Amino acid sequence: MSDEAAPGGVLRLRGREFGPGTHAVMAVVNRTPDSFYDRGATFGFGAALRAADAAVEHGADIVDVGGVKAGHGPPVTVAEEIERTAPFVAALRARHPEVIVSVDTWRSEVGRACAEAGADLINDTWAGADPALAAVAAEAGAGLVCSHTGGLAPRTDPHRVHYADVLADVVATVAGLARRAVALGVRPDRVLVDPTHDFGKNTYHSLELTRRLDELAATGWPVLVAVSNKDFIGETLDAPVDERGPGTLAALAVSAWQGARVFRVHDVGASRAALDAVAGLGAGTTGGGGV
């Protein structure tokens, strides 16, 4: 990997800079009726705006807008996903001009519509399933999240998945996607990588990724983690979705100490406080995952 392709320094989005050791909070706003976490609480346009307002008030740096449930559920057409996301992105951009707006999609058509509406970042959680999406980010001047699913197709669950070394597989995949994005014209300082806990992985794999996240951070690409209330936390702690808050904060703290830079979360206030505590505990140290 060339120095040009792996900046290893500052992540730049919408005029803001996040260097190593800084923690950016990405708030989740799902414009879906069947989200695993909020069960459609922010499906309505007004409810989603109020959730975004609250997230910004509690310290969100980024608001990530999704229009399709990640897991199994009724099919959502491209047109419907655009209708759920692009007008909301436009309203959010007008309402909070200083906030970084992200769209969670694997579809190039949706990425283009949302970038035109004002999105700064395309969060591709399905590992380049639509190979045109990276070119859309490049054309729009947007950032791109490069993820890992072990070859899993969008909205499908892993079945008896196996890796000789899950971290090595993640590093090879996301670094390759990041280099491809840069080759297509995405600015290196707008590229993030996401190990994508639970996507194409079982609980053992997600825990292994969390323990070894410093190895992914060592690639030089800014690391995003999306661990909030996920199944690996629930299975580890035998906790239902609404009781995974403490486990989520623990996973966030470990990830931050290991060098993660962007954190996709449901509870912005608690996450911001936990990440600030990690930064404070690491202040003045020479090691400890980049804090």
- Structural domain includes residue 16: no
Residue 282 is predicted with a pLDDT of 83
Per DSSP, the three-state class of 173 is helix
Q: Which domain covers residue 103, as residue numbers?
A: 23-281
Number of domains composing the chain: 1
| pTM, rounded to two decimals | 0.93
Single-letter amino acid code for the residue at 120: D
- Structural domain includes residue 46: yes
- Structural domain includes residue 5: no
pLDDT digits (tens, 9 = 90+) for 231-276: 999 999 999 999 999 999 999 999 999 999 999 999 999 999 999 9
Decide if pLDDT at 110 tops 70.
yes
Is 212 an active-site residue? Answer: no
- Structural domain includes residue 17: no
- Structural domain includes residue 206: yes
pLDDT level of residue 64 (50, 70, 90 thresholds): very high
Give the CATH number of the domain where residue 260 resides.
3.20.20.20
Annotated catalytic residue, options 84, 230, 244, 261: 230
Q: Tokens for 192?
A: 């993030």
- Structural domain includes residue 72: yes
pLDDT digits (tens, 9 = 90+) for 136-176: 999 999 999 999 999 999 999 888 999 999 999 999 999 99
pLDDT digits (tens, 9 = 90+) for 21-33: 999 999 999 999 9
List Cβ neighbours of 217 (8 Å cut-off, separation of 6 or more).
223, 258, 259, 260, 261, 289, 290
Annotated catalytic residue, options 93, 261, 264, 272: 264
Greatest Cα pair distance, the chain, in angstroms, is 51
Residue 8 is predicted with a pLDDT of 64
Among 111, 147, 166, which residue's Cα sits nearest to residue 225? 147
> Between residues 110 and 40, which one has the greater pLDDT?
110
Decide if pLDDT at 189 tops 50.
yes
Is 93 an active-site residue? Answer: no
- Structural domain includes residue 267: yes
Torsion angles phi and psi, residue 227, rounded to 5: -110, -5
- Structural domain includes residue 4: no
